[in-house]
Amino acid sequence: MVVETEIAQVDEYLDARGLACPMPLLKTKLALNAMRSGQVLKVSATDAGSERDFQRFAELSGHALLRSEQAAGEYHYWLRKN
């Protein structure tokens, strides 16, 4: 379940647009590994499968999927590292 919330601050941004599955998720994992607990990562992707992937990834990894949006063929995700 995605919690809709205002995101006060984004600590890192990952542009995964144009990448096919599983690359957006793999790059997200690497970016989160380099971040500190509590920091927020915003990811932009164009892969339609990323919606399912990011929600499941958050459930399994313990990272919080704070928000997700779809607009103009792009998908945007805000994750807080656990």
3-state secondary structure of 65: strand
Task: Give Rg (Cα) of the chain.
Answer: 11
Cβ-Cβ contacts under 8 Å for 1 (sequence gap 6 or more)? none
Active-site option among 21, 23, 35, 64: 21
Cβ-based neighbour number of residue 44 at 10 Å: 16
Q: Respond yes or no: is residue 21 known to be catalytic.
A: yes
Question: What residues are annotated to the active site?
Answer: 21
